[in-house]
Structure 1
């Protein structure tokens, strides 16, 4: 069974909240951008169950090691 889109949206909101706690010196808008950019990589994924986990990993990596 795949994740409903509303559930995925809530899960991504939770990702932003967790990353905001992990990176308190970053603006929420910067974290939201990192999550949105990471999420765009999975737009065509047919199985959606793990998308929030993968998005969180990618967004966290972007925030830990920003490209200058």
Structure 2
């Protein structure tokens, strides 16, 4: 339970970082959607320790490679 709360807090911080980093090119909803999609891709992984880092990398890559009108 504590690990899940820690992961959820970390994912919220990822959303904040990416929302700020991509504020000029993507609206906050697009950044949040990219994080949610990336996070969902790790749902079946039993080891959760590095999930927030991997989610941030995956979401950042998506946002970098998709202009706002494609995201």
Give the TM-score taking structure 2 as reference length: 0.85
- Gaps (5+ residues) in structure 1? none
1:23 and 2:31 equivalent?
no
Aligned to 1:53: 53
Q: Deviations over 1:5-57 (max 9, x none)?
A: 11111100000111112111221111110000001110011110000000000
RMSD, aligned α-carbons? 1.5
TM-score, normalised relative to structure 1: 0.89
Structure 1 runs of 4+ aligned residues shifted over 3 Å read: none
What is the DSSP-based 3-state SS (H/G/I as helix, E as strand, rest coil) of the residue aligned with 2:49?
A: coil
- Number of residue equivalences: 66
Q: Which runs of 5+ in 2 are unaligned?
A: none
Q: What is the CA–CA distance in structure 2 between the aligned matches of 1:40 and 1:16, rounded to whole Å? A: 14
CA distance in 2, matches of 1:7, 1:36: 16
